[in-house]
Amino acid sequence: MSGLATASVGDGPVRFAFLHGLFGRGRNWTQIAQGLAALGHGSVLFDLPNHGASPWTTTFSYPESAAAVCAEIDHRLAGKPLILVGHSMGGKVAMISALRRPELFAGLAVVDISPTESGQVSSFGPYLTAMRGIDLTTLTGKADADRQLSATVANPAVRQFLLTNLRDRGGWHWQPNLELLATSLPELAGWPEIGPVPFEHPTSWVVGERSPYYRAEDLTLMQRYFPSVHKVVIPDAGHWVHADNPSAVITALAELSAASPS
């Protein structure tokens, strides 16, 4: 696979690398990265495989995605004291990246996900069905797509998020690899069995106070892989923690940076 698409934010030395969740893209982290840039930290925002402007693949697994991220870091950012930040699906990619290649990272932030089965991912199935059900050859615009999605996806904010993936470049198309993602939901929900070698560097488990993904008992699982983990509960936040309370997330990441090797 060719290199992943990335975007840089901030003029300071690169300190953070950001990974998005399902149906997301690197720019979902722009507000957080801009807040960190104001503190002097540069960031790189990744589009994960099968998302955004990054290449599609024929199979999905978390180890494959982690390998792609680490290869890009080896190529572009090796030797920098990076803190890897991942949300949801991207959080699982981040955990595996840190466990497999700990020498690449000074710290880790896992945002609203745990190293275990995530049954909530099944709720994305209807979204995939609705997105794939739109006839792109007759689509008149995003308003038309929104109308068609509304029959299945009642929440306007969710529809708006999904529609950020719809592009018109000589014809409408979805940027994510919807066919592969639809057949990979069990893998997306799962957690691969990997060796017990822990990641020893500072780790923050950043969770939304109101998130259905947050289970306090999962701290024990986090401690198995990340013995230095520190739990940060973000108030007034659901699963999309960085959108619901960005200032608190910026503070949490700045504190993690201060506690991590530089």
Catalytic residues: 88, 179, 239
The count of residues in the chain is 262
* Sign of the CA dihedral with 95 first, then 78, 71, and 242 last: positive
Q: How far apart are CA 92 and CA 192, in angstroms?
A: 10
CA angle (21, 24, 25) in 5-degree steps: 110
Do residues 20 and 87 touch, judged by C-beta distance below 8 A? Answer: yes
Q: What torsion, rounded to 10 degrees, do the Cα atoms 67, 69, 75, 76 define?
A: -170
245 is written with which tokens?
């309370």
CB burial of residue 214 (10 Å; 0-12, 13-18, 19+):
buried
Tokens of 93: 């990619």
Angle between helices 125-132 and 156-163 (to 10 degrees): 60
